């Protein structure tokens, strides 16, 4: 397949591109910074410069491609959710998705990609916490839920043009070179690690290699469509997550971080850490996807190179 990826130089894209190349696909990444792409992506990846704020049109980049993967969007956890940052988070996701779908609609049917995989998140379910949810659940409340709902609505417009569309509701992605785990390693390495909040909030997670295998599987099998949860079938509590991380690092998990302190430092952003979602990957399991790392202990040991 000929596959074009928007947002392909980030944490997930850096793992996804090698997986797709290994499966003999042709991969093109759209990026604002081709020099960065050359540094972080395999040489077999084709790089096309594109910036939605400068150039807008995408038709020439999507013409004749078989699939589009949209991973674009500013980092949710890199700063306080001020009004201006919320607008950036919204526009970097929704405006980019709208441009992609508009471009798809302008292409001749014979030269239009057949599938769109669009990023989303388990923030869709809100902060209901300890009630298990799957893809049949209704959206929750709050900034992230509203953002995900609007994001997915833009993506699913592609179905009007005959494009099989998947919105991947991604949980916490675990990998050593990016995401939340990278930020958590230093406190534990300094013997300062510990659970956040009341310790009982659920943590839904997925190993980055399972995530990219899931994306590749979605590309190759037409049975995958609609919203799909990208989460291990075995979520844990925050306390268990930190205990297992401490064990994998050979460090204690003894210094709890009170919720009120996070709220002072991070504001509304702190809700990401003090609440959680108990997410079930119903669709992926029904369709036969097999997780290489269904359990947290094996996932962390594999990431930290202390086991399989």
pLDDT value at 82 more than 70: yes
pLDDT digits (tens, 9 = 90+) for 88-124: 999 999 999 999 999 999 999 999 999 999 999 999 9
How many domains is the chain built from?
1
Tell me if 241 is assigned to some domain.
no
In a domain, 272, yes or no: no
pLDDT-derived band at 191 (thresholds 50, 70, 90) equals: low
> Is 277 inside a domain boundary?
no
Q: Decide if 103 is inside a domain.
A: yes
Task: Tell me if 107 is assigned to some domain.
Answer: yes
Q: Which domain covers residue 147, as residue numbers?
A: 2-173+205-231
The structure tokens listed for 36 are 């960065």
Greater model confidence, 198 or 23: 23
183 pLDDT band, cuts 50/70/90, is confident
Position 12 in a domain:
yes
CATH number at residue 32: 3.40.50.720
Does a structural domain hold residue 189? no
282 domain-assigned = no
Pairing, β 2-6 against β 129-133: unpaired
Q: What is the pLDDT of residues 237-290, one digit of tens each?
A: 988 988 898 888 888 776 665 555 545 444 554 566 667 889 999 999 999 999
Tokens, residue 144:
């992230």
pLDDT at 298: 95
Task: Give residue-wise pLDDT tens across range 122-141.
Answer: 999 998 667 899 999 999 99
In which residue are the tokens 């990208």 written? 230
**pLDDT given at position 307:** 40
């Amino acid at each position: 397949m000929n596959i074009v990826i928007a947002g392909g130089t980030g944490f997930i894209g850096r793992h996804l591109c090698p997986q797709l190349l290994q499966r003999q696909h042709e991969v093109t990444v759209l990026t604002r910074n081709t020099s960065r792409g050359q540094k972080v992506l395999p040489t077999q990846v084709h790089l096309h410069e594109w910036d939605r704020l400068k150039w807008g049109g995408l038709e020439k980049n999507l013409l004749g491609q078989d699939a589009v993967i949209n991973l674009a969007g500013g980092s949710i956890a890199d700063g306080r959710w001020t009004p201006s940052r919320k607008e950036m988070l919204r526009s970097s996701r929704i405006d980019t998705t709208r441009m992609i779908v508009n471009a798809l609609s302008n292409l001749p049917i014979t030269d239009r990609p057949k599938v769109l995989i669009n990023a989303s998140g388990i923030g869709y379910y809100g902060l209901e916490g300890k009630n298990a949810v799957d893809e049949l659940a209704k959206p929750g409340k709050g900034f992230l839920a509203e953002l995900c709902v609007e994001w997915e609505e833009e993506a699913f417009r592609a179905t009007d043009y005959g494009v099989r569309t998947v919105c991947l509701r991604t949980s916490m992605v675990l990998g050593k070179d990016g995401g939340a785990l990278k930020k958590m390693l230093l406190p534990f390495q300094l013997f300062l690690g510990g659970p956040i909040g009341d310790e009982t909030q659920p943590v839904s997670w997925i190993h980055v290699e399972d995530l990219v295998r899931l994306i590749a599987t979605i590309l190759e099998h037409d049975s995958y469509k609609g919203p799909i949860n990208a989460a291990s079938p075995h979520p844990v509590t925050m306390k268990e997550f930190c205990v297992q991380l401490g064990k994998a690092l050979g460090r204690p998990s003894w210094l709890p971080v009170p919720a009120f302190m996070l709220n002072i430092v991070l504001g509304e952003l702190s809700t990401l850490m003090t609440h959680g979602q108990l997410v079930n990957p119903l669709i992926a399991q029904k369709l036969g996807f097999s997780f290489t790392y269904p359990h947290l202990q094996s996932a962390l040991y594999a990431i930290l190179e202390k086991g399989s």
